[in-house]
Every structure is written in C-alpha cells, then in structure tokens.
C-alpha cells in the first residue's frame, strides 16, 4: 500500500475498541455515530450465528494466528473492506463480511490497489 501511496483508513460505529484498533491503521479512524457509511441496509447477525461452523473456524483460526481481539462492544454489525480510488475512480474493490471473521482476499485487495490511478 505504501509503495502505491495508499493509506488505510477505518470507519467504526462505536468507541469501544477503537483505540486498540488504531495501531493497525496508518490513516485515520473515523467514528460514524449515525452509521451512514454502513449503507442504507446494515448487515446484522444474531449471536447464534457465532455457533456456525464457519464462524467458529474463523474465530479459532484468528486465535491460533495470534490475531488480537476483544469481546467488548456490539460485535453483531458486520464490517466491510473497500478500495476507493481518488476522484471519479470510485470503488475498485469491496468485500462485505458475511460471517464473523470473514476476511477479504488479500490478492484481490492488492490487485485493486494496483489499479489506482494517481491524480494529475
């Protein structure tokens, strides 16, 4: 990302855990209290969806990898990853979390970053 002049930013919907999140972000962390960035239709999952095989596999995999996390805050509002180009380039890549711990494909993210055209 740095080689292409791309900064990582985050949009969060609550303050719990936001400070712990900041070291992973090179750009800014924005608080979206009204959750307008989350779109016209927020994607919520019930706590029972934590018991699905895929969610449990992702949680255990994250623990094995040593991925830090906490159980503070809401946690049911699913997140997303966007690669957005400057100007009128718009969204070059998007991944919407479907289950807990559903990660974006890093090869796809890298490919989208390489598509970014620098403004004149």
pLDDT in tens, 51-77: 665 666 666 666 666 655 555 555 567
Q: Determine the distance from the C-alpha atom of residue 14 to the mean position of all C-alpha atoms in its chain, rounded to a whole number.
A: 14
Residue 27 has pLDDT above 60, yes or no: yes
Residue 120 lies in a domain: no
Domain that holds residue 89: 2-115
Domain annotation covers residue 94: yes
Q: How far apart are CA 9 and CA 26, in angstroms?
A: 7
- Is 93 part of a structural domain of the chain? yes
Number of domains observed in the structure of the chain = 1
pTM here is 0.66
Q: Which residues contact 114 (CB under 8 A, 6 or more apart)?
A: 4
Tell me, yes or no, whether 22 lies in a domain: yes
CA-based nearest residue to 93, from 103, 81, 78, 102: 81
pLDDT band at residue 43, thresholds of 50, 70 and 90?
low
Q: Which residue has the higher pLDDT, 71 or 113?
A: 113
Angle at 68 between CA 12 and CA 10, to 5 degrees: 20
Asked if pLDDT for residue 108 goes beyond 90, the answer is yes
Q: Give CA 85 to chain center in angstroms.
A: 17
Tell me whether residue 106 is in a domain: yes
Residue 49 has pLDDT above 80, yes or no: no
For range 79-104, the mean pLDDT: 84
């Amino acid at each position: 990302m740095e080689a292409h002049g791309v900064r990582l930013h985050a949009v969060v919907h609550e303050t719990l855990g936001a400070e712990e999140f900041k070291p992973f972000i090179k750009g800014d962390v924005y608080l979206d209290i009204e959750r307008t960035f989350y779109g016209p239709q927020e994607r919520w999952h019930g706590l029972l969806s934590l018991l699905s095989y895929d969610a449990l596999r992702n949680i255990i995999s994250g623990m094995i990898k040593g991925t830090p996390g906490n159980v503070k805050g809401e946690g049911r509002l699913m997140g997303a990853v966007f690669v957005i180009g400057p100007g009128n380039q718009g969204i070059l890549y998007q991944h919407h979390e479907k289950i807990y711990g559903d990660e974006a494909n890093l090869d796809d993210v890298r490919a989208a970053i390489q598509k970014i055209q620098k403004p004149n």
